[in-house]
Amino acid sequence: MGVELIDTHAHLDYPDFSQDLEAVIARASDAGVTRIISIGTGIESSRRAVALAERFPNVYAVVGIHPTNVTEEGLDFLPALRELAQHPKVVAIGETGIDYHHVPEELKSLTPQTDYLQFQTTDDTGRLLAEDVWKNAQADAFRMQLDLAEEFGLNAVIHQRSAWHDTLAVLSPYTGRVRGVFHCFGGTPEEAEEVRSLGHLVSFTGIISFKNADQVRVTAAAVPADGYMVETDCPYLAPVPYRGKRAEPFHTRIVAEQVALARGITLEEVAAASSQTAETFFRFQRSGRAS
């Protein structure tokens, strides 16, 4: 039997794959990628991920609201998301989390009369603090999705960008109740250990192959064997030698090869460890779920 890998984070529902999805999945299978998890970023995206999981036996779905989509979705997404979470091939909630990297320009011009996401925060002069509203909305959506994950006995796929402390502040009360994977992890070994000490995982993408990604390689070498998974985040972050092109699930093998180089072990060892971790985290074999 050859190497078997799991792409734990792909966006197969994106338009980038609309013309050749079957070929994309076939190439992944040829590269030893036996399962692909398609990640939702909003309600409609999550519905498409579920439809893909129904269509392809080796595709599974994660449903959720990406933090940068919270303003668009609003905070009334829970009934629709709860319905999606009941599908037998939904294996986690997400991607959810907090992202402060880009502050939408329109938030800066909100007035105190604006009913924005049904949430208002005022400063001492009564002016609406648009950035606080935006941050609080993300935190609220994050908590709602963590609550839903706990309700359904699922784990969470976490997106964090420029919001490390706030993300951990929201997540910490769920310790022992919901596990998370910090996808596309680019932090230090110390940050990875902080995540692991709370019971969570990290996941590595094609960034590990980039010339300027020494920190990612150092972290990949330091994380315990049961503390990481591999992913592509396709269509983003294609690894070298495909950098700048559309990433695909078959690139999971390249990511795993780079992790193996960083750790000084074989591809087979990385595949075995990361796939076992994914099996446990996403609970493919849990009762009533397709396998």
Residue with tokens 């591809």: 267
Residue 248 has φ and ψ, to the nearest 5°, of -135, 160
pLDDT value, residue 197:
96
* Residues in the chain, pLDDT under 50: 111-128, 286-291
Residue with tokens 């609309």: 18
pLDDT value, residue 49:
98
- What H or E segment, with its residue span, contains residue 180? strand 180-182
Region 5-282: CATH code: 3.20.20.140
pLDDT value, residue 107:
61
Q: What's the gap between Cα 106 and its chain centre?
A: 26
- List the domain boundaries for the chain: 5-282
For the chain, the straight-line distance linking the first and the last C-alpha, in angstroms and rounded, comes to 19
pLDDT value, residue 126:
37
H-assigned helices in 153-266: 164-171, 189-197, 214-222, 252-263
